[in-house]
């Protein structure tokens, strides 16, 4: 994962390196003072890596997500802001190879406990999460696991869920324009699969986004907002920053 970090001297570089040194799940760290760039190879959710970097007092923005060794095959993002009031978050997806999709997210305001994460067929939020259609890839017989079933996430007692999941069925290029939906409660019901009946807490449209080394200046070129302005936008619920 690639972060832009506000650094001014070699002392800043050393502080950033020290904040990540010896942390379980962090495999390597590269810091470039000239470009304010920090590349971290890690199995941790990006929000946790960002929090470690910002423990130094430096602001950090996730600019790209992928594999440092090879160019990712596609990346996407869903801003989770439609549904029950007070639930907000960001979920990112990156296709690291032909068979692996990494799903990384932070969502605030959820009921404490386990919930289910799905990709739904439609990117239609005209009626909130109820217009997102069925789960993507749900078969007519409903006897097989649908392609859009990503897995369980868990919110702590403060309502925050930070997660990093891998999926061998999803392909990023197949789900651009569809929607990401969090259903309340863990799905432990007997089959057939009928995930459409569960309470839909929050949803967002899946949009194409920057992969590693593809977003050097701005979060979004269309609105001209600098990454530091975007970093400070409160989109993740009351009292939270977006952690974009």
**Residue 19: its H or E element:** helix 10-20
For residues 221 and 146, state if they share a domain.
no
Model confidence at 223: pLDDT above 60:
no
The band of 6, judged by pLDDT with boundaries at 50, 70 and 90, is: confident
For residues 204 and 222, state if they share a domain.
no
For residues 33 and 136, state if they share a domain.
no
Cα 116 from Cα 135, distance rounded (Å): 12
Tell me what pLDDT residue 233 has.
Answer: 54
Q: Is 243 inside any structural domain?
A: no
Tell me what pLDDT residue 138 has.
Answer: 79
For residues 165 and 116, state if they share a domain.
yes
Q: What is the largest CA-CA distance in the chain?
A: 61
Tell me what pLDDT residue 192 has.
Answer: 58
For residues 53 and 86, state if they share a domain.
no
Model confidence at 187: pLDDT above 50:
yes
For residues 131 and 200, state if they share a domain.
yes
Q: Is 242 inside any structural domain?
A: no
Q: What is the CATH number of the domain that holds 53?
A: 3.30.70.100
Q: What is the CATH number of the domain that holds 196?
A: 2.60.40.200
For residues 184 and 222, state if they share a domain.
no
Domain range for 151: 75-208
The band of 240, judged by pLDDT with boundaries at 50, 70 and 90, is: very low
Cα 227 from Cα 136, distance rounded (Å): 33
Q: Is 202 inside any structural domain?
A: yes
Model confidence at 51: pLDDT above 80:
yes
Give the distance, in angstroms, between the CA of residue 18 and the centroid of all CA atoms in the same chain.
25
For residues 103 and 52, state if they share a domain.
no
The band of 46, judged by pLDDT with boundaries at 50, 70 and 90, is: confident
For residues 195 and 221, state if they share a domain.
no
Cα 210 from Cα 222, distance rounded (Å): 13
Tell me what pLDDT residue 191 has.
Answer: 59
For residues 6 and 89, state if they share a domain.
no
Instruction: Encode pLDDT of 88-132 as tens digits.
Output: 999 989 888 888 898 999 999 999 999 999 999 999 999 999 999
Query: What percent of the chain clears pLDDT 70, i.e. is strictly above it?
Result: 75
Tell me what pLDDT residue 195 has.
Answer: 53
Tell me what pLDDT residue 225 has.
Answer: 40
Q: Is 237 inside any structural domain?
A: no
Instruction: Encode pLDDT of 33-44 as tens digits.
Output: 988 889 998 888
The band of 145, judged by pLDDT with boundaries at 50, 70 and 90, is: confident
The band of 63, judged by pLDDT with boundaries at 50, 70 and 90, is: confident
Q: How far is CA 147 from CA 9, 52, 74, 174, 197, in A?
A: 47, 34, 18, 11, 17
Tell me what pLDDT residue 206 has.
Answer: 95
Q: Is 182 inside any structural domain?
A: yes
How many domains in the chain? 2
Q: Is 165 inside any structural domain?
A: yes
The band of 230, judged by pLDDT with boundaries at 50, 70 and 90, is: very low
The whole-model pTM stands at 0.72
């Amino acid at each position: 994962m690639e972060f832009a970090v506000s650094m001014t001297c070699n002392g800043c570089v050393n502080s950033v390196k020290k904040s990540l040194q010896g942390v379980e799940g962090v495999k390597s760290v590269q810091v470039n003072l000239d470009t304010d760039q920090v590349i971290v190879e890690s199995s941790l959710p990006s929000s946790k890596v960002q929090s470690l970097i910002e423990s130094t007092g430096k602001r950090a923005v996730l600019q790209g997500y992928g594999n440092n060794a090879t160019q990712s095959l596609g990346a996407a993002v869903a801003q989770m802001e439609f549904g029950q009031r007070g639930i907000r978050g960001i979920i990112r997806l990156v296709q690291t190879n032909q068979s692996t999709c990494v799903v990384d997210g932070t969502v605030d305001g959820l009921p404490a406990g386990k919930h289910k994460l799905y990709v739904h067929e439609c990117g239609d939020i005209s009626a909130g999460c109820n217009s997102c259609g069925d789960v993507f890839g749900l078969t007519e017989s409903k006897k097989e696991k649908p392609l859009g079933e990503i897995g369980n996430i868990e919110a702590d007692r403060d309502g925050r869920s930070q997660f990093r999941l891998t999926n061998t069925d999803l392909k990023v290029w197949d789900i651009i324009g569809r929607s990401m939906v969090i259903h309340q409660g863990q799905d432990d019901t007997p089959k057939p699969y009928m995930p459409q009946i569960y309470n839909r807490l929050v949803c967002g449209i899946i949009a194409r986004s920057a992969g590693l080394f593809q977003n050097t200046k701005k979060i979004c070129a269309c609105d001209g907002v600098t990454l530091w302005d975007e970093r400070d936008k409160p989109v993740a619920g009351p009292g939270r920053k977006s952690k974009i």
